[in-house]
């Protein structure tokens, strides 16, 4: 696929892995195949690649958002333990350093699991210098949805007045009819932004307040 297609807000809401109606889109960075080890070691920020909005079903979205939450919370815990070890009087430094090692290990482990989950394609460059993306593994339903979407784009170029801007509605001469495949929710397809579940936000807030409370207790009662 072309990078512009993967960045399009109108990419079909069909899960890349399962072929089910997508529960959300996850923005990730795809890199050339010879740079994935460097990406694993340094992170995606320092490696050239292509940003893509990949549609996933509810379970993959939940797994990815949970791994991101674990990484953020354990990073906060690592920083909090380091601060407490160096700046809180009479703090149990041995236990805090053990906690730092454990939380840092969980942080990097969650990043590795996240990286393996989002490694769904590689970026290649053609002889003309233009980049293209090879996705894998790809469910046949996603392939069919993309091919239908491309056909709709070509039809909309021939008759722009007969299609809505998001290509989800077609004017048949009497009324607007949906172009979405049967069984796909119009509500979820029209709302592609991925949302973090409420329980993850609540867990992050509780753990954050617990860390602040623990630091305050050691500061005034240590």
pLDDT in tens, 51-65: 999 999 999 988 998
How many Å apart are CA 97 and CA 65, to the nearest integer? 28
22 assigned to some structural domain? yes
Is residue 96 one of the residues assigned to a domain? yes
In a domain, 174, yes or no: no
User: Does residue 47 belong to any structural domain of this protein?
Assistant: yes
Total of domains in the chain: 1
For residue 105, give Cα distances in angstroms to 53, 137, 162: 29, 29, 55
- Which residues form the domain of 210? 3-169+179-221
- Assigned token pair, 75: 């990073």
pTM of the entire predicted model: 0.72
* Cα of 153 vs its chain's centroid, Å: 26
Evaluate whether residue 32 is within a structural domain.
Answer: yes
Answer yes or no: are the C-beta atoms of 73 and 207 closer than 8 Å. Answer: yes
Within-domain flag for 18: yes
In a domain, 198, yes or no: yes
Question: pLDDT (tens digit, 9 = 90+) per residue, 104-146?
Answer: 999 999 999 999 999 899 999 888 888 999 998 899 999 999 9
Residue ranges in the chain whose pLDDT is less than 50: 186-194, 198
* Radius of gyration (C-alpha) of the chain in whole angstroms: 23
How far apart, in Å, do the first and last CA atoms of the chain sit?
Answer: 59
């Amino acid at each position: 696929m072309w990078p512009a297609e993967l960045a399009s807000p109108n990419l079909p809401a069909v899960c890349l892995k399962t072929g089910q109606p997508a529960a959300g889109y996850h923005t990730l960075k795809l890199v050339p195949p010879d740079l994935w080890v460097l990406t694993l070691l340094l992170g995606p920020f320092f490696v050239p690649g292509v940003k893509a909005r990949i549609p996933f079903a509810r379970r993959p979205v939940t797994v990815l958002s949970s791994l991101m939450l674990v990484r953020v919370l354990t990073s906060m815990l690592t920083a909090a333990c380091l601060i407490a070890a160096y700046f809180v009087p009479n703090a149990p430094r041995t236990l805090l350093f053990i906690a730092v090692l454990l939380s840092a290990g969980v942080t990097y482990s969650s990043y590795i699991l996240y990286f393996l989950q989002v490694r769904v394609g590689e970026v290649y460059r053609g002889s003309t210098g233009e980049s293209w993306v090879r996705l894998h593994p790809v469910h046949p339903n996603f392939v069919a949805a993309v091919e239908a979407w491309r056909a709709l784009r070509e039809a909309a170029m021939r008759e722009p007045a007969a299609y809505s801007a998001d290509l989800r509605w077609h004017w048949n001469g009497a009324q607007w009819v949906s172009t979405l495949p049967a069984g796909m929710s119009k509500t979820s397809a029209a709302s592609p932004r991925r949302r973090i579940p409420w329980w993850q936000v609540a867990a992050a807030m509780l753990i954050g307040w617990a860390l602040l409370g623990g630091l305050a207790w050691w500061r005034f009662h240590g």
